[in-house]
Amino acid sequence: MTIYESYAIFISILSLLLSILSLIFTQINSRRTNKIYYDQTEMAIRESISTAKYKVAEAIKNSGDNNQYSSQIVKVSIEELLNLYEEACAKYIDKKVDKKRFKKLYYDEIKKVVESQELKDYYNIGSKYCTTKKVYNKWCNLVK
């Protein structure tokens, strides 16, 4: 084996090692990026739901007039909140949030919302909130 062949083998091995190291660092950075994405998504969901809850509470508080306009505002506020739960559950199903943390954060909330007597009409068969019901069934009805 000539010195040039030895040099070429050494360079090839060094290139292979650098490629492997590059792949490892790329995987580590990808995981960090995904974690940041999950965290940002979860914070946005939490902020949106909190704002919507506040709007529902304000609408109910201001509906003392008991007129049709006030009841419409309450209904729209509730639907906005339910839409946010629906969107959050869709992100859960699509694996765009950390599933364990999401369940820990939203288990009680989603259970209360779906089981609520005041909101039962929103969750009837054929409702537009089927993703929320799907997550609820997955978590609460282990028989299914």
Q: Of the ranges 13-22, 58-67, 75-84, 91-100, which one carries the lowest mean pLDDT score? A: 58-67
Is 78 within 8 Å of 56 (Cβ atoms)?
yes
pTM: 0.75
Domain boundaries, the chain: 39-140
pLDDT on residue 69: 79
Confidence of residue 65 (pLDDT cuts 50, 70, 90): low
Q: Nearest CA to 75 among 125, 121, 130?
A: 121
